[in-house]
Amino acid sequence: MSEGIKILAQNRKAYHDYFVEEKLEAGIALCGTEVKSVRLGNLNLKDSYCAARGGELFLLNMHISPYEQGNLFNRDPLRERKLLLHKREILKLTQAVARDGYSIIPLAVYLKRSRVKLEIGLCRGKKLYDKRESIQQRDLERENRRFLKERDPS
């Protein structure tokens, strides 16, 4: 990524389970101790997803570990968190989910100019045969790289 961006967590399982059609950047509404914990990298995106309610988008099942020095200011690690997007972006995403059977999946959490940002993807689920095909492609690419590395004299 470009300058000023530090990746804190990635959801690699999302790329295995879904075809990512479109990516968007969103802000997250966090409280103080959550921000401190995220900056330390104490978060997990596995099995998290986004849902629309009342014209707003919420992030569900993202686990942020409690901050060690936070004591009574710590919040529930799995609470829903509001995503900060423009209204037209939210409308576009919710229409795609309702009409075409897409899902909104978080792909990465990163710091951009000291602000916590979330990369979300408009995703379509893969079937079992699609997953097998992806694994086969990855193995072929790995074999090709290994073969080219062995043939390279330098």
Q: pLDDT digit string (tens) for 135-148?
A: 899 999 999 988 88
pLDDT of 154 reads 64
Q: How far is CA 110 from CA 11, 80, 86, 127, in A?
A: 12, 18, 19, 29
3-state secondary structure of 113: coil
pLDDT of 134 reads 86
Instruction: Note the pTM of the prediction, 2 decimals.
Output: 0.78
- Report, as ranges of residue numbers, the positions in the chain whose pLDDT lies below 70: 1-2, 154
pLDDT of 2 reads 59
Is residue 26 within 8 Å of residue 133, measured between CB atoms?
no
Tokens standing for 14?
């999302």
Q: Nearest Cα to 30, choosing from 77, 86, 72, 71?
A: 77
| CATH architecture, domain 5-126 | Beta Barrel (2.40)
Give dist(CA 100, CA 113) in Å, integer: 35
The percent of residues above 70 in pLDDT, for the chain, comes to: 97
